Amino acid sequence: MPELPEVETIVNDLKLKVLGRTFIDLWTDADGLIKRPKKFSDFKKGVAGEKIQSVRRRGKNIVFELSGGKAMLIHQKMTGHLLLGKWSKAAQGWKPEVFGPIADDPMNRFLHLIFWLDDGSMLALSDMRKFAKAELWGAKDLRESQETDLGPEPLEPEFSFEKFKDRLKDKKGKIKQVLMDQEAIAGIGNIYSDEILFQAKVAPFRSVSSLSDEELKEIYKAAKEILKKAIKARGASVSDFRDLQGEKGGFQKLAKVYRREGEKCPECSAIIKREKMGGRSAHFCPNCQI
């Protein structure tokens, strides 16, 4: 699932490409992607004709602030990513009209939601498994809902160590699971929780209550450093993620433990392990992380 760095990469590109553009028309072949309102026809009616005034990220969500006091939310979920280009309808789906990664990479061919913009370009959601969602809100209602449902943003200047510690103080779970809890802290998932804990030298199975202030400070510092490094690398494409141009991110080449099971730890040469944790996997060095 795209995490904070992948979503930030998409949002940064969207800010450069679509601000001020107006949605002209919409198409889908997967009505189930539309969660609010329930009917695609109502969603289409509410979005068409509205101008994109700003684009922002909240947690793992992409939010388009629209004219008319509206906001459109897109969550890419497990296998979804937004693409900007031009396509023409063909017998077997949508055919890209330009050469490049969008046309060459097979992960970019699963178009299930398309927006036509007033400059002739098209914004498309490619989602192999169709788990993504799109919602139309009143802008004020969405902001209020997100402040209730999501924790603070870890890269915001006001996210101090004291605030970080306060978010964790009543948590009883294991540190990796708590870092991925979107109500505790927004945006961190499986990839970056592994990398953060490796840099902090803390085992993913440690209970939050067992961590010292020094260990918490290392996790806090690592979270900011790893997320910034991943944004600079334009996210991680360990499976499905592609950027707005259909290209892979680069952080997977920099990952030190995530999906490195059986390889040597880059710090001590011990063998990296992978263990199940609540339906997810934790990758870690059994020697470095205590």
Same domain, 260 and 133: no
pLDDT tens, position by position, 64-79: 999 999 999 999 999 9
3-state secondary structure the chain: CCCHHHHHHHHHHHHHHCCCCEEEEEEECCHHHEEECCCHHHHHHHHCCCEEEEEEEECCEEEEEEHHHEEEEEECCCCEEEEEECEEEECCEEEECCCCHHHHCHHHCCEEEEEEECCCCEEEEEECCCCCEEEEEEHHHHHHHHHHHCCCCCCCCCCCHHHHHHHHCCCCCEHHHHHCCCCCCCCCCHHHHHHHHHHHCCCCCCEHHHCCHHHHHHHHHHHHHHHHHHHHCCCCCCCCCCCCCCCCCCHHHCCCCCCCCCCECCCCCCECEEEEECCEEEEECCCCCC
Q: What distance in Å separates the CA atoms of residue 285 and residue 71, rounded to the nearest whole number? A: 43
In whole angstroms, how far apart are CA 113 and each of 16, 52, 77, 147? 21, 17, 14, 27
44, 171, 217, 280: which is the annotated catalytic residue? 280
2, 5, 96, 154: which is the annotated catalytic residue? 2
Q: Would residue 263 show up in a list of annotated catalytic residues for this protein? A: no
Residue 1: pLDDT over 90: no
Region 247-252: what's the mean pLDDT? Answer: 98
Region 206-216: what's the mean pLDDT? Answer: 97
Which CATH number is 171's domain given? 1.10.8.50
160 Cβ contact partners less than 8 Å away, ≥ 6 residues apart: none
Which CATH number is 126's domain given? 3.20.190.10
Region 27-34: what's the mean pLDDT? Answer: 98
Place 55 in a pLDDT band, splitting at 50, 70 and 90. very high
In-domain check, residue 290 = no
pLDDT tens, position by position, 258-289: 999 999 999 999 999 999 998 899 999 999 99
Domain C-terminal end among 149, 183, 204: 149
Domain C-terminal end among 102, 122, 149: 149
The answer to whether the predicted template modeling score (pTM) of the entire model surpasses 0.75 is: yes
The total number of residues shown for the chain amounts to 290
Same domain, 274 and 215: yes
Averaged pLDDT score across all residues of the chain: 97
Domain C-terminal end among 118, 149, 180: 149
Q: Would residue 51 show up in a list of annotated catalytic residues for this protein? A: no
Region 201-223: what's the mean pLDDT? Answer: 98
57, 58, 60, 256: which is the annotated catalytic residue? 60
3, 50, 65, 135: which is the annotated catalytic residue? 3
What pLDDT is stored for residue 281 in this prediction? 96
Same domain, 172 and 243: yes
What pLDDT is stored for residue 77 in this prediction? 95
Region 244-255: what's the mean pLDDT? Answer: 98
In-domain check, residue 236 = yes
Same domain, 16 and 120: yes
Residue 188: pLDDT over 90: yes
Nearest to 195 by CA among 270, 278, 253, 262: 253
In-domain check, residue 137 = yes
What pLDDT is stored for residue 98 in this prediction? 87
Region 218-233: what's the mean pLDDT? Answer: 98
Same domain, 173 and 97: no
Q: Would residue 286 show up in a list of annotated catalytic residues for this protein? A: no
Domain count of the fold of the chain:
2
Q: Would residue 2 show up in a list of annotated catalytic residues for this protein? A: yes
What pLDDT is stored for residue 149 in this prediction? 95
Share of the chain above pLDDT 90, in %: 96
Same domain, 140 and 169: no
Half-sphere exposure of 143 (CA within 13 A, CB side): 9
What pLDDT is stored for residue 239 in this prediction? 87
Residue-range definition of the domain harbouring residue 198: 161-284
Same domain, 96 and 12: yes
Region 148-164: what's the mean pLDDT? Answer: 97
What pLDDT is stored for residue 150 in this prediction? 97
Beta bridge partners of 51: 22
In-domain check, residue 155 = no
In-domain check, residue 154 = no
Same domain, 111 and 215: no
Same domain, 124 and 183: no
What pLDDT is stored for residue 278 in this prediction? 85
In-domain check, residue 289 = no
Same domain, 39 and 125: yes
Same domain, 98 and 168: no
Same domain, 174 and 145: no
